[in-house]
Amino acid sequence: MTVTQTEAPAARRAGAAEGELEKSTGRRNRRTYLALLIPGVLGLVVSFVFPLAYMVRMSFNRGAPDGVIEETFTLDTYIQPLTDPYYWRVTLDTFQMGVTVGLLCVLVSYPVALFLARSTSKYRGLLIAVAIAPLLTSAVVRTYGWMVILGTNGLVNSTLEGMGLIDTPLKLTNNMTGVIIGLVEIFMPYAILAMISGFGRLSPQLEEAAGSLGASKLQVFTRVTLPLSLPGILTAFLLVFVLSISTFITPRLLGGGSVQVLATEIYDQTTGLLNWPFAAALSVILLVLFGLIIAVYQRLTKKIGG
């Protein structure tokens, strides 16, 4: 009985010491995590937050025709694009281009991504490298390549005319059709990578179980494979959409000046008209488009996950 009374306080003291040790370790870990986080946060603030804040502040200034920027606080730079039908059309064309390129990229890239995700070949790594190899080439070079392929005397029109399928060349450049074709090819590797990383929920066992219960291959795909791969599809669509509506080179080159989207309009306002406040306002509108799509994406992912 005496031994038990003596050991009880010692046990409590040992437990308290262990608790203090755990708290001390936890505090040290938090300080370590914070120290590791600070450089990244500072880099983000300097490279993103400050420029973004400067751009938003610039959008409330007033730009003169001679390029002089008047330091003020006005909503004129927002009223003009929101009331002018031309800028509504540019914004709508930008949105439609992003949606179209995103959908086509997903449709074209899905079979490739599904094959690579399921492949057990020892050459799987090589196949993935081949699929994303176009990323090693500049988008400018690939865009110039599409200008040659889709031109009036390019490969596509020459082949179709040689086969007797058309009498006059198709107009595939200097319009939105050529821009979309070029963007789909340029952003396909991004869509493939996004879908491969998002196919973690796919399970061959579930597909085999559905097949053993009498489901056809089409039913297995539509009721098992496709629903489980939706997170990867949505991620790929979001990525391609964001890249598409913010791209400048391909709409400028393949569009030939006849395709105006927000990115090309921002460039013209910045370098041609020297109206930086108006260009900043258009950039903010572009960011709002980003935010709307991301909000829809989050709602859809929550709904799928729930």
The residue range of the domain holding 240 is 85-305
- Mean per-residue pLDDT over the chain, rounded: 85
Q: Which of 88, 92, 99, 294 is CA-nearest to residue 183?
A: 99
- Asked whether residue 197 falls in the same domain as residue 230, the answer is yes
CATH of the domain at 123: 1.10.3720.10
- Please give the span between the terminal C-alpha atoms of the chain, in angstroms, as a whole number: 58
Q: 238-254, pLDDT tens digit by residue?
A: 999 999 998 999 999 99
Q: Report how far Cα 301 is from the mean position of its chain's Cα atoms.
A: 15
Number of domains in the chain: 2
The answer to whether residue 74 is domain-embedded is no
- Asked whether residue 56 falls in the same domain as residue 185, the answer is no
**What's residue 11's pLDDT?**
53
The answer to whether residue 103 is domain-embedded is yes
- pLDDT grade, residue 1 (50/70/90)? very low
The answer to whether residue 80 is domain-embedded is no
Q: 251-292, pLDDT tens digit by residue?
A: 999 988 888 999 999 998 888 888 899 999 999 988 888 888
CA–CA gap between residue 54 and residue 246 (Å, rounded): 19
- pLDDT grade, residue 14 (50/70/90)? low
The answer to whether residue 193 is domain-embedded is yes
- pLDDT grade, residue 222 (50/70/90)? confident
pTM of the model: 0.81
Residue 93 has pLDDT above 80, yes or no: yes
CA–CA gap between residue 3 and residue 7 (Å, rounded): 6
Token look-up 């399970």 returns 203
| Range 162-181 average pLDDT | 89
